[in-house]
Amino acid sequence: MGILEGKKILVTGILNDASLAYATAKEILAEGGEIIVTGFGRGMSITSRVVKRLDPTIEVLELDVANNDHFTQLATSIESSHGRLDGVLHAIGFAPAACLDPSMFVAQWEDVATAVQISAYSLAPMISHLTPLLKRGTSPSVVALDFDASQAWPGYNWMGVAKAALESLNRYMAREAGKDGIRVNLISAGPIRTIAAKSVGGFSDFEEVWANRAPLGWTVTDPTPVAKSTVALLSDFFPSTTGEIIHVDGGFHAVGA
Ligand SMILES: NC(=O)c1ccc[n+]([C@@H]2O[C@H](COP(=O)([O-])OP(=O)(O)OC[C@H]3O[C@@H](n4cnc5c(N)ncnc54)[C@H](O)[C@@H]3O)[C@@H](O)[C@H]2O)c1
């Protein structure tokens, strides 16, 4: 019997089969969980196609986190089809190109506002709209994906600032959702080659440094450690952990050189 047997999990952020959310969806199914998937904009048709490979009966619902009506429709749709949720994966990040320019002084406020809205703030309306469903779940758990914001990285720039906001928001969401018995945590992942990662100019710098320095080593093409650790947080095996950031990075964060 898998550790997610009987659990209904909402998985956001599957763009293609390289997405961290796709690897996580596979592990959730392998552990006996059921998934409801969301897709975004023009990527929805690709999302539907790759998800069908996992299971042709999986629903793909539309969610643009910048559109408040989508959250309302999503909650209504899950309410009528499933009646509850036991877990949610927030695997959503976006920053306009100016935010990832080598110079920090190129992005204008509108660019930065978009990066923060999509990559950090969106966790709040997601939790707010889904709380009635999560309250009916068993040991409900929300997990979002983070990239260590305790240091400045080459090229990550305003996306790094958005991740710092996400790390803080994680703690505030844990306070807020705790009274309803809902856990909120982040997985701080090492670099993995995905579409989102391709837009980060300094990504190849991270790749080399990570593989050489991480005590356990690191493979940028293997999302499985991130997926398995996310599954652990979604399961009942972290019953008293919330507001936490779990590093799944081969131990890179713990060593200086
Ligand atoms: N790949 C890495 O190295 C890495 C490392 C640490 C954390 N992360 C984080 O993991 C998460 C998933 O990214 P990924 O690397 O799997 O890349 P990805 O490109 O596969 O996923 C990013 C997802 O964000 C979605 N998205 C963008 N704007 C959206 C919007 N307005 N509404 C709804 N969805 C929207 C995209 O459709 C896509 O599914 C992101 O938060 C990313 O920052 C990635």
CATH number for the segment(s) 8-252: 3.40.50.720
Mutate to test the pocket of ligand 1, among 15, 16, 206, 221 (most ligand atoms within 8 A of CB): 15
Q: How confident is the model at residue 5 (pLDDT cuts 50, 70, 90)?
A: very high
Residue numbers annotated as active site:
156, 163
* Per-residue model confidence (pLDDT) at position 230: 99
Which residues approach ligand 1 with their CB closer than 6 A?
A: 13-15, 19-21, 40, 43, 63-66, 91-94, 118, 145-147, 189, 191-192, 194-197
Q: Sketch the domain layout of the chain as residue ranges.
A: 8-252
pLDDT, the chain, mean? 97
Model confidence pLDDT, tens digit, residues 84-131: 999 999 999 999 999 999 999 999 999 999 999 999 999 999 999 999
* Per-residue model confidence (pLDDT) at position 63: 98
Mean pLDDT for the stretch of residues 162-190: 98
Tell me the three-class secondary structure of the chain, residue by residue: CCCCCCCEEEECCCCCCCCHHHHHHHHHHHCCCEEEEEECHHHHHHHHHHHHHHCCCCCEEECCCCCHHHHHHHHHHHHHHCCCCCEEEECCCCCCHHHHCCCCCCCCHHHHHHHHHHHHHCHHHHHHHHHHHHCCCCCCEEEEEECCCCCCCCCCHHHHHHHHHHHHHHHHHHHHHHCCCCEEEEEEECCCCCHHHHCCCCHHHHHHHHHHHCCCCCCCCCCHHHHHHHHHHHCCCCCCCCCCEEEECCCHHHCCC
Expressed in angstroms and rounded, the spacing between residue 90 Cα and the centre of ligand 1 is: 9
Model confidence pLDDT, tens digit, residues 210-229: 999 999 999 999 999 999 99
Expressed in angstroms and rounded, the spacing between residue 96 Cα and the centre of ligand 1 is: 13
Q: How confident is the model at residue 204 (pLDDT cuts 50, 70, 90)?
A: confident
Model confidence pLDDT, tens digit, residues 28-72: 999 999 999 999 999 999 999 999 999 999 989 999 999 999 999
